[in-house]
Chains A and B, each alone.
Chain A
Amino acid sequence: AQTVTQSQPEMSVQEAETVTLSCTYDTSESDYYLFWYKQPPSRQMILVIRQEAYKQQNATENRFSVNFQKAAKSFSLKISDSQLGDAAMYFCAYRSRGGSEKLVFGKGMKLTVNP
């Protein structure tokens, strides 16, 4: 079974600074998707960014980018120019490309942005 690990339960960053959130996963599959979801205090789950394992290029979405290291099974999220609205819980998630479509989530990490 696949597992997702987020080893840092909390982090803080100064507004306008850059922060990196770490995530590792375990799988025997070669083709899969990885996601970062954001959960603000409203508890709505919001997709931040996704990465397809067969793509070598790291995904980017505006201020958000990932560092995908397939051999190391590592998938970190970098937030540049942090904003107060980035404060939230961040969850890393894994999904097989074939088979079940379920998402496997990490336990999450609470990000605080200091003004």
Chain B
Amino acid sequence: NAGVMQNPRHLVRRRGQEARLRCSPMKGHSHVYWYRQLPEEGLKFMVYLQKENIIDESGMPKERFSAEFPKEGPSILRIQQVVRGDSAAYFCASSLGRTGTPYEQYFGPGTRLTVT
């Protein structure tokens, strides 16, 4: 059973470009979470999605950031007009949601975004 897949693993963007990060959850998981890890920091929650729905986006910056989890295909975290402060590791996690016990989140390997 494949784990959570993220791609790309490394992404370099110039200031002002767009970054698209992809996450494929574990088989059977319909809940996806995105977290950001700045250097020397713990992970910070960004957004929680189910298929075609955003459940909690309380951690998302108000501008330039968006996320989706379509009916088909991976979840996408999109960062428009990237700035140097967006450089970080972005982790995706998936879970069974409330039907699972105790709905543990399984993490992908992360995407390291570098903005030059």
Chain A residues at the B interface, C-beta cutoff of 8 Å: 4, 33, 37, 42-47, 50, 52, 91, 100-108
Contacts and interface: CB of A to CB of B under 8 A. Distances in A.
Interface string B19-40: 0000000000001010100001
A101 B107 contact: no
Given A50-B104, A100-B58, A102-B59, A43 B45 contact: no
B44 interface: yes
Interface stretch (B66-74, B79-87, B89-97): B89-97
A10 to B, nearest CB: 11
B104 A45 contact: no
A108 to B, nearest CB: 5
B44 A50 contact: no
B106 to A, nearest CB: 8
Given A107-B41, A107-B42, A101 B103 contact: yes
B30 to A, nearest CB: 12
B43 A103 contact: yes
Contact of B107 (A44, A100, A102, A107): A44
A96 to B, nearest CB: 11
Nearest to B3: A44
Among all A-B residue pairs, the 3 with the closest Cβ atoms: A105-B42, A45-B107, A102-B45
A83 B35 CA distance: 29
A52 B102 contact: yes
A102 B33 contact: yes
B56 interface: yes
B20 to A, nearest CB: 20
Contact of B95 (A4, A37, A101, A106): A101
Contacts of B56: 100-102
Nearest to A52: B102
A33 B98 CA distance: 13
Contacts of B95: 101
B43 A91 contact: yes
